[in-house]
């Protein structure tokens, strides 16, 4: 049985890993200080930045705990934050993201109303440096349909939890075993899958209370690293002895979905050969991933690679 809220206003520990985040960290921290909920503790893991991040963080008014360390990647930084936290609840926030004012308050209220929940996550907007917002409707639709019965089978196909939108019971994430330091990216995804495999309960709040900053410069290299880690997260998930035979049978379509997501990332970067390579691997695992979007982008990519290159 998951731990219940033990007092009227439980402490929420906010963990912010920072690496070369001087451009956005002040805006990030301001969104924390403006939260309508208290008490909170802010734990900043300064992960060996080579820019002016540490000085900016120290100069920001407001109480916070700053833990400097050599660069160890985000999963290890989050683990350091968890180990140094005192709160019953933990909220994660990435250095370039921001929160709406009532984000923490509404999540704590959700835990009060549903005390058996292990994790509460909110809807989110994507935004850019120009302030333009975009609502990822596909993730919202999937998240709205989550329940105890389909949690693992849904997440194994699509990660709908952005770290900056998550609040989790410290007891629950410790029981799951903290983040795997072997992941440079997608360590959060591997954690959500692990918690789901253990039968933990997730609750979705459909209000977009977290804002995820989308950077203009997304490279093939980054897409490639994320794809490799996504596949690694699936491998770890399907090796979990807690899985039922029904869950294990989802492996082919899950790998296919991972290759499709990678294919679309390459397409967005106009790397059409990368799209085709991953599309072929997706279909090899399962043809069920084929839809109108997949077909349209496949035809365009094939045309660009095989026709335009000859002209």
241: tokens are 């002895």
Residue 270, C-beta contacts closer than 8 angstroms, at least 6 positions apart: none
HSE on the CB side for 108, CA within 13 Å? 24
Distance CA 197, CA 244 (A): 9
**Whole-number pLDDT of residue 164:** 98
**Whole-number pLDDT of residue 2:** 53
Give the domains, in start order, of the chain with CATH numbers: 12-213 (3.90.550.10), 220-310 (no CATH)
**Whole-number pLDDT of residue 311:** 52
For 263, other C-beta atoms within 10 Å of its C-beta total 28
Q: Could you tell me the mean pLDDT of each successive run of 10 residues in the chain, 311 residues long? A: 70 97 96 97 96 94 94 93 98 97 98 97 91 86 94 95 97 97 94 96 97 68 81 95 92 96 90 94 95 96 83 52
pTM of the model: 0.92
**Whole-number pLDDT of residue 4:** 63
Rounded to 5 degrees, what angle do the CA atoms 103, 106, 108 make? Answer: 105
Q: Which of 41, 34, 44, 33 is nearest to 11 (CA)?
A: 41
**Whole-number pLDDT of residue 24:** 95
Distance CA 223, CA 208 (A): 25
**Whole-number pLDDT of residue 255:** 97
Q: Is 24 exposed, middle or buried (0-12, 13-18, 19+ CB in 10 A)?
A: middle
Block residue for tokens 């599309």: 279
Distance CA 11, CA 111 (A): 13
Distance CA 161, CA 204 (A): 9
**Whole-number pLDDT of residue 1:** 47
HSE on the CB side for 2, CA within 13 Å? 25
Chain segment 184-193, per-residue pLDDT in tens: 899 999 999 9
Residue 170, C-beta contacts closer than 8 angstroms, at least 6 positions apart: 13, 82, 85, 87, 88, 89, 90
């Amino acid at each position: 049985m998951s731990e219940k809220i033990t007092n009227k206003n439980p402490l929420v520990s906010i963990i912010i890993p920072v690496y070369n985040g001087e451009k956005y960290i002040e805006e990030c921290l301001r969104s924390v200080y403006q939260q309508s909920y208290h008490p909170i503790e802010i734990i900043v893991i300064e992960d060996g930045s080579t820019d002016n991040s540490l000085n900016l963080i120290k100069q920001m008014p407001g109480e916070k705990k700053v833990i400097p360390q050599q660069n160890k990647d985000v999963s290890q930084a989050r683990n350091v934050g968890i180990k140094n936290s005192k709160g019953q609840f933990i909220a994660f926030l990435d250095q370039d993201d921001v929160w709406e004012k009532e984000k923490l308050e509404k999540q704590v209220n959700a835990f009060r109303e549903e005390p058996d929940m292990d994790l509460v996550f909110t809807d989110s907007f994507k935004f850019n440096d120009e302030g333009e917002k975009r609502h990822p409707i596909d993730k919202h639709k999937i998240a709205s349909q989550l329940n105890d019965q389909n949690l693992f089978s849904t997440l194994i196909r699509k990660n709908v939890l952005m770290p900056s939108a998550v609040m989790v019971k410290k007891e629950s994430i410790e029981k799951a075993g903290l983040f795997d330091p072997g992941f440079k990216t997608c360590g959060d995804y591997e954690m959500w899958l692990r918690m789901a495999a253990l039968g933990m309960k997730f609750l979705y709040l459909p209000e977009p209370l977290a804002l995820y900053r989308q950077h203009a410069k997304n490279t093939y290299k980054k897409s490639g690293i994320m794809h490799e880690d996504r596949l690694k997260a699936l491998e770890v998930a399907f090796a979990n002895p807690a899985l039922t035979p029904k869950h294990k049978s989802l492996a082919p379509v899950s790998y296919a979905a991972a290759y499709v997501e990678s294919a679309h990332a390459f397409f967005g970067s106009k790397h059409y050969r990368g799209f085709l390579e991953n599309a072929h691997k997706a279909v090899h695992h399962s043809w069920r991933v084929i839809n109108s979007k997949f077909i349209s982008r496949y035809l365009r990519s094939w045309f660009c690679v095989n026709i335009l290159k000859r002209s």
